[in-house]
């Protein structure tokens, strides 16, 4: 029994970070309607940035958010302006290939500049853990989960109560209606991209104390984030959060009870299955999905 | 006239290709040609769903399924790879069937995502299912040269085999493109709803295209594993080598055209090998940086691929001819 | 015996009723005009009959064959042809555009090519066979749209504003085609905003307003119908 609870807890903790990374994607995908195959590279870049800030200046990973988040926000905005904006009106194929090309580019630039080594940040709390009722809880994972939860709540409040947030939600819901209602849809693209990238980057930062950084670390996150967004439903923050936790648990249980080598295989299989059975998402309303090829 | 000229040029090139191995002793040159032929066939197979606008970034899955099926049958059960062709094609088509299930509901980027996920799942299974696949160590094809074993002393037979595969698959895609299936694929790519209203079962059309594509790719995987003797999950289910590469060749040559894959494979295979061996040894990753740049720039500046640069020239000749036609009919 | 029987046809989008319990019949060989103010639901009716949208309720029977559960391509095979209001030529030559539907009826490309040529000749497009639709005028592209639908050998042809956006000369050129098509044995329902054209060609007119059928009859009967006039002028009359 304890084993199950243990596995469940570690799955949920990991799922929190997954949810955060995916919420960034959901925002970008929902507003800009582009499938960014380089999403995982945002995670990779933020992890490297955190690593170098620690390595060169001894900055604690958690403190480094004050630098990483603004930098990645700007990076997201630049990415939207320079890469995404020019291809917005082109075909789906062009969008896929452009972002795949950028993903290749970023991975291999990282390889060239920072080598293929697995790099880790050692902190005093990296290995520390709490024991609650015989359940071992890793401190950095707990911090990651707590921070993820908190930032998702902040984002939720932002989308719910601010003018810009409402506009973003309207855009996610329906581009043409938002346009009719006087929302400058295109004007919000850069902001949504910056914001989405920033939340994704936060996920990356939170991973650093307990996982290694290497050039291809982001690759699984692109797929993972899409799995979570599809499961949770486009435009649904709470759906994405739940789906993130769910995928964290799938990975944790699959890794423990099936085979560690297959934990990702299991949720990819779930992904294909969900696309087949309920492409509008398990929890989502699925608005706008037709525009991007879902039926 | 122009069409006849093209046939003559084609026949000439083919003849030159036939006699090349007689003059080159260098295994490197033969290997390079063999690789180009393999990639031509692979890209042409990848291109079949692309006629219908479906972009797969997971063709390594079919390639790997075909290779594993044939290798396991041969190594464990002594089944000749020639018989294995049927099994490899069938197994890869089962893979195609699984991947095509989501196609019922979704198109475009989500199909692409599903295809990547599919290849990743298979790679993990191949690594994990040690009793069947020997895990990440992989399977070695024992060196027992004979025609039945599809194993040869020199590289020459595989030169001809791969040439035959390339010609065969490109010819097949040509036939598909000019058949009802090809018309329906192109219509579906252009406007799915309008195609449906005209009686095209677009879902079935995409499905059949994927069946052809996956079956052929499976057979190519079989030939490739007997060419290089070693079967590792990291290579055969590799995103770079057999998923991205054919897609890259296709987009650079011209996706959805018959000759695009040929042009793409001829250009990109030597470039890829060159980059891997020269740039790759100077600086790991540099070759992929070049790839990424080529990809982004091609999409940005020649979205129709190289074929789109060549067709206006051919079209102009054609237009000159047809411009005379109405006059002739008036006289008649 | 009616060729097409539509009963209780209804389409709801969430809370919005786009088509509300429509009942009508179309006899073999008729030319029926479907008119109504903007947003009345005319194109939605076409979408429901051709299967581009699933109906919420109701039945659509063509030649004793129930269509309402069939996917769009099967309805095309059953004999429903349609054009789209916004022309949607495929990115291929004019001839190839018309070959696409011909190839759903035969697998033989030579036969399909012959068939496509026949249709193009009938539509006066044979000289443009090798042209790309993107380079043609709107009137020509509208003709391609009709040619494509005709290449399916439809029993019933749904024409959605094939005259809209054309100049008077082009209208005069395209208008006789409708009769010509009917004379080949194709029954036609068409949506049109050009009243003169509509009245001159149609034998019977169905009038829709806000998703419902409010009137039907000969062009003269319909133009004298109080309800129709009010629908167009925007007045509400509970009696209608």
Structural domains of chain A, ranges and CATH numbers in brackets: 2-118+133-292 (1.10.3470)
**Contact between chains at C90 and B191 (C-beta distance less than 8 A):** yes
Structure confidence by residue, pLDDT tens digits, B57-74: 999 999 999 999 999 999
Mean pLDDT (chain B) is 84
Chain B touched by C7 (CB under 8 Å): no
Provide the percentage of residues in chain A whose pLDDT is more than 90.
Answer: 16
**Contact between chains at B193 and C52 (C-beta distance less than 8 A):** yes
Q: Report the first-to-last Cα separation within chain C, whole angstroms.
A: 29
- Does B touch A (3+ CB pairs < 8 Å)? yes
pLDDT at site B165:
94
Report the alpha-carbon distance of residue A103 to residue A123 in Å, rounded.
30
pLDDT over threshold 60, residue B44: yes
Please check whether residue B332 lies inside any domain of the structure. Answer: no
Please check whether residue B234 lies inside any domain of the structure. Answer: yes
Structure confidence by residue, pLDDT tens digits, B87-119: 999 999 999 998 888 776 666 778 888 888 889
- Burial class (CB within 10 angstroms; exposed 0-12, middle 13-18, buried 19+) of B303: middle
Distances (CA, A) of B57 to B237, B247, C100: 11, 7, 28
Please check whether residue C119 lies inside any domain of the structure. Answer: yes
Place of tokens 């299989």: A269
Report the alpha-carbon distance of residue C50 to residue C70 in Å, rounded.
9
pLDDT at site B332:
31
pLDDT over threshold 70, residue B320: no
Pair C29, C51: CB distance under 8 Å: no
Please check whether residue C239 lies inside any domain of the structure. Answer: no
Q: Phi, psi at residue B275, to the nearest 5°? A: -60, -40
Chain B touched by C13 (CB under 8 Å): no
- Predicted confidence band of residue A264 (pLDDT cuts 50, 70, 90): confident
C35-74 residues touching B, CB cutoff 8 A: 50-52, 71-74
3-state secondary structure of C144: helix
Domain that holds residue C104: 2-233
Report the alpha-carbon distance of residue C186 to residue A102 in Å, rounded.
54
Distances (CA, A) of A279 to A140, B63, C182: 34, 28, 43
Helical (H) or strand (E) element with A51: helix A39-57
Chain B touched by C127 (CB under 8 Å): yes
3-state secondary structure of C7: strand
pLDDT at site A278:
64
B186: Cα within 13 Å, side-chain hemisphere? 23
pLDDT at site C139:
85
Distances (CA, A) of C215 to A243, B4, B199: 52, 63, 32
pLDDT at site B316:
57
Mean pLDDT for B242-254 is: 89
Report the alpha-carbon angle A247-A211-A143, nearest 5.
70
Please check whether residue C59 lies inside any domain of the structure. Answer: yes
Provide the percentage of residues in chain B whose pLDDT is more than 90.
Answer: 37
pLDDT over threshold 80, residue A234: no
**Contact between chains at B183 and C50 (C-beta distance less than 8 A):** no
Beta bridge partner(s), residue A178:
none
Displacement of CA C176 from its chain's centroid (Å): 16
pLDDT at site C80:
93
Q: What is the DSSP letter of A82?
A: I
Structure confidence by residue, pLDDT tens digits, C40-57: 888 999 999 999 888 888
pLDDT at site A134:
74
Pair A280, A286: CB distance under 8 Å: yes
A115: left (phi > 0), else alpha (psi -120 to 50), else beta?
A: left
Report the alpha-carbon distance of residue B251 to residue B50 in Å, rounded.
10
Q: Does A15 or A167 have the greater pLDDT score?
A: A15
Q: Which residue of C has its CA nearest to B192?
A: C90
Cβ neighbours around C28 below 10 Å, total:
14
pLDDT at site B93:
95
Report the alpha-carbon distance of residue C62 to residue B250 in Å, rounded.
45
CB nearest to B191's CB, from C88, C101, C127: C88
What pTM value is reported for the model?
0.87
**Contact between chains at A271 and B117 (C-beta distance less than 8 A):** yes
Pair B29, B154: CB distance under 8 Å: no
How many independent structural domains does chain B possess?
A: 1
pLDDT at site A281:
58
Q: Which residue of B has its CA nearest to C146?
A: B198
Q: What CATH number does residue C69 fall under? A: 3.40.50.300
**Contact between chains at B116 and A108 (C-beta distance less than 8 A):** no
Parts of chain C with a pLDDT under 70: 1, 233-240
- Does A touch C (3+ CB pairs < 8 Å)? no
**Contact between chains at C109 and B179 (C-beta distance less than 8 A):** yes
**Token duo for residue A112:** 């060239």
How many independent structural domains does chain C possess?
A: 1
Please check whether residue B52 lies inside any domain of the structure. Answer: yes
3-state secondary structure of C18: strand
Q: Which residues of B touch A29 (CB under 8 A)?
A: none
Distances (CA, A) of A36 to A32, A219, A291, B205, C149: 10, 12, 15, 28, 38
Q: Which residues of C touch B178 (CB under 8 A)?
A: 109
pLDDT over threshold 50, residue A287: no
Report the alpha-carbon distance of residue C105 to residue B33 in Å, rounded.
43
Report the alpha-carbon distance of residue B291 to residue C132 in Å, rounded.
34
Point out the least confidently predicted range of A41-50, A215-224, B15-24, C138-147.
Answer: B15-24
Chain B touched by C92 (CB under 8 Å): yes
- Predicted confidence band of residue B317 (pLDDT cuts 50, 70, 90): low
Please check whether residue B118 lies inside any domain of the structure. Answer: yes
Domain that holds residue B272: 2-324
CB nearest to B128's CB, from A95, A102, A262: A262
Displacement of CA B235 from its chain's centroid (Å): 16
**Token duo for residue C235:** 């007045």
List, in order, residues 6 or more apart from A87 with CB less than 8 Å away: A34, A94, A95, A98, B299, B300
Pair A202, A62: CB distance under 8 Å: no
Pair B123, B241: CB distance under 8 Å: no
Q: How far is C55 from chain B (nearest CA, A)?
A: 16
Please check whether residue B221 lies inside any domain of the structure. Answer: yes
List, in order, residues 6 or more apart from A248 with CB less than 8 Å away: A11, A12, A13, A14, A15, A16, A17, A18, A19
**Contact between chains at B199 and C71 (C-beta distance less than 8 A):** no
Structure confidence by residue, pLDDT tens digits, C119-137: 999 888 888 888 888 888 8
Q: Which residues of B touch C51 (CB under 8 A)?
A: 196-197
Report the alpha-carbon distance of residue C117 to residue B79 in Å, rounded.
52
pLDDT over threshold 70, residue B329: no
What ipTM, to 2 d.p.?
Answer: 0.89
Report the alpha-carbon distance of residue B279 to residue B276 in Å, rounded.
6
Report the alpha-carbon distance of residue A80 to residue A192 in Å, rounded.
9
Q: Phi, psi at residue B164, to the nearest 5°? A: -60, -40
- Complete DSSP assignment for B269-322: HHHHHHIIIIIHHHSTTHHHHHHHHHHHHHHHH-TTHHHHHHHHHHHHHHHHHH
pLDDT over threshold 50, residue B325: no
Provide the percentage of residues in chain C whose pLDDT is more than 90.
Answer: 32
**Token duo for residue C151:** 């290449």
List subunits contacting chain B, requiring 3 or more Cβ pairs under 8 Å.
A, C
**Contact between chains at B194 and C71 (C-beta distance less than 8 A):** no
Q: How many CB pairs under 8 A join B and C?
A: 81
Mean pLDDT for B150-160 is: 83
Q: How far is C83 from chain B (nearest CA, A)?
A: 8
- Predicted confidence band of residue A46 (pLDDT cuts 50, 70, 90): very high
Q: Phi, psi at residue A136, to the nearest 5°? A: -95, 125
pLDDT over threshold 70, residue B166: yes
**Token duo for residue B169:** 């698959």
List subunits contacting chain C, requiring 3 or more Cβ pairs under 8 Å.
B
pLDDT over threshold 90, residue B242: no
- Predicted confidence band of residue B3 (pLDDT cuts 50, 70, 90): low
Please check whether residue B329 lies inside any domain of the structure. Answer: no
Pair A51, A208: CB distance under 8 Å: yes
Structure confidence by residue, pLDDT tens digits, B183-226: 999 999 988 889 999 999 999 999 999 999 999 999 999 999 99
Long-range interactions of A3-6: CB distance < 8 A, separation 24+: A3/A256, A5/A135, A6/A135, A6/A136
CB nearest to C100's CB, from B195, B201, B326: B195
Q: Strand runs (DSSP E) across C134-230, as ranges? A: 156-160, 187-191, 204-209, 212-217
A211-270 residues touching B, CB cutoff 8 A: 215, 223, 226-227, 230, 259, 261-262, 264-265, 268-269
Q: Does B73 or A272 have the greater pLDDT score?
A: B73
Cβ neighbours around C23 below 10 Å, total:
12
List subunits contacting chain A, requiring 3 or more Cβ pairs under 8 Å.
B
Report the alpha-carbon distance of residue B180 to residue C101 in Å, rounded.
10
Distances (CA, A) of B157 to A178, A234, B31, C4: 63, 53, 11, 65
Report the alpha-carbon distance of residue B14 to residue B34 in Å, rounded.
14
Distances (CA, A) of C67 to A182, C6, C58, C109, C154: 41, 10, 10, 29, 14
Report the alpha-carbon angle B149-B151-B155, nearest 5.
155
Pair B40, B173: CB distance under 8 Å: no
């Amino acid at each position: 029994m304890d084993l199950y609870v243990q596995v469940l807890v570690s799955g949920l903790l990991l799922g929190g970070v997954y949810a955060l990374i995916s919420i960034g994607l959901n925002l970008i995908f929902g507003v800009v309607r582009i499938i960014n195959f380089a999403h995982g590279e945002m995670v990779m870049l933020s992890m490297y940035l955190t690593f170098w800030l620690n390595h060169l200046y001894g900055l604690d990973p958690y403190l480094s958010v004050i630098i990483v988040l603004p930098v990645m926000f700007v990076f997201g905005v630049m990415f939207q302006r320079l890469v995404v904006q020019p291809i917005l009106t082109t075909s789906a194929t062009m969008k896929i290939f452009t972002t795949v090309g950028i993903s290749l580019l970023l991975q291999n630039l990282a390889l060239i500049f920072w080598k293929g080594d697995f790099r880790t940040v050692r902190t005093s709390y990296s290995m520390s853990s709490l024991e609650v009722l015989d359940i071992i809880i890793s401190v950095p994972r707990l911090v990651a989960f707590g921070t993820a939860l908190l930032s998702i709540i902040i984002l939720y409040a932002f989308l719910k109560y601010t003018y810009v947030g409402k506009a973003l939600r309207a855009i996610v819901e329906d581009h043409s209606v938002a346009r009719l209602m006087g929302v400058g849809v295109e004007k919000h693209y850069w902001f949504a991209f910056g914001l989405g990238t920033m939340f994704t980057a936060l996920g990356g930062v939170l991973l650093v104390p307990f996982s290694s950084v290497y050039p291809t670390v982001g690759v699984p996150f692109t797929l993972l984030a899409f799995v979570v967004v599809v499961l949770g439903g486009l435009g649904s923050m709470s759906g994405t959060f739940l789906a993130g936790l769910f995928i964290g648990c799938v990975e944790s249980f699959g890794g423990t009870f099936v085979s560690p080598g297959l934990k990702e295989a299991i949720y990819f299989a779930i992904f294909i299955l969900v696309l087949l059975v309920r492409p509008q998402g398990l929890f989502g309303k699925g608005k706008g999905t037709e525009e991007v090829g879902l039926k | 006239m122009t069409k006849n000229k093209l046939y003559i040029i084609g026949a000439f090139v083919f003849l030159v290709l036939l006699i090349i191995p007689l003059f080159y002793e260098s295994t490197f040159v033969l290997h390079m040609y063999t690789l180009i032929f393999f990639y031509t066939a692979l890209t042409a197979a990848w291109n079949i769903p692309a006629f219908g606008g479906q972009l797969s970034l997971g063709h390594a899955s079919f390639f790997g399924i075909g290779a594993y099926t044939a290798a396991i049958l041969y190594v464990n059960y002594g089944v000749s790879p020639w018989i294995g062709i049927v099994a490899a094609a069938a197994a890869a088509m089962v893979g195609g069937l699984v991947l095509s299930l989501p196609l019922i509901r979704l198109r475009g980027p989500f199909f692409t995502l599903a295809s990547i996920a599919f290849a990743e799942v298979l790679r993990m299974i191949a690594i994990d299912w040690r009793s069947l696949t020997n895990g990440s160590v992989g399977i070695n094809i024992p060196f027992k040269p004979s025609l039945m074993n599809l194993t040869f002393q020199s590289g020459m037979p595989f030169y001809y085999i791969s040439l035959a595969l390339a010609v065969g698959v490109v010819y097949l895609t040509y036939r598909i493109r000019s058949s009802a299936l090809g018309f329906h694929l192109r219509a579906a790519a252009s406007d799915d709803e309008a195609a449906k209203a005209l009686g095209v079962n677009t879902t079935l059309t995409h499905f059949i295209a994927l069946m052809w594509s996956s079956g052929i790719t499976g057979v190519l995987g079989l030939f490739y594993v007997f060419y290089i003797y070693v079967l590792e999950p990291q290579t055969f289910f590799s995103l770079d080598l057999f998923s991205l590469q054919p897609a890259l060749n296709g987009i650079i040559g011209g996706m959805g055209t018959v000759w695009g894959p040929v042009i793409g494979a001829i250009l990109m295979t030597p470039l890829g090998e060159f980059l891997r061996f020269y740039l790759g040894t100077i600086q790991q990753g540099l070759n992929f940086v070049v790839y990424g740049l080529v990809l982004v720039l091609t999409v940005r500046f020649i979205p129709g691929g190289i074929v789109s640069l060549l067709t206006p020239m051919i079209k102009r000749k054609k237009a000159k001819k047809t411009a005379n036609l109405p006059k002739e009919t008036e006289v008649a | 015996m009616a060729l097409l029987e539509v009963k209780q046809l209804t389409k709801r989008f969430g809370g919005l009723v786009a088509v509300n319990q429509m009942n009508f019949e179309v006899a073999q060989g008729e030319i029926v005009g479907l008119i109504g103010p903007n947003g009345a639901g005319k194109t939605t009716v076409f979408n429901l009959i051709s299967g581009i949208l699933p109906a919420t309720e109701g039945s659509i029977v063509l030649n004793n064959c129930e269509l309402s559960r069939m996917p769009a391509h099967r309805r095309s095979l059953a004999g429903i042809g349609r054009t789209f209001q916004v022309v949607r030529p495929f990115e291929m030559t004019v001839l190839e555009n018309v070959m696409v539907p011909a190839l759903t009826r035969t697998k033989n490309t030579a036969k399909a090519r012959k068939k496509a040529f026949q249709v193009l000749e009938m539509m006066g497009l044979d000289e443009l066979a090798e042209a790309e639709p993107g380079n043609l005028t709107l009137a020509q592209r509208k003709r391609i749209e009709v040619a494509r639908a005709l290449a399916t050998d439809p029993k019933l042809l749904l024409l959605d504003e094939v005259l809209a956006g054309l100049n008077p000369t082009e209208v005069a050129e395209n208008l006789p085609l409708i009769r010509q098509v009917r004379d080949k044995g194709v029954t036609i329902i068409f949506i049109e905003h050009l009243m003169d054209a509509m009245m001159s060609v149609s034998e019977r007119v169905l009038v829709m307003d806000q998703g419902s059928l409010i009137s039907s009859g000969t062009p003269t009967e319909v133009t004298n119908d109080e309800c129709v006039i009010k629908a167009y002028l925007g007045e509400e009359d509970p009696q209608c």
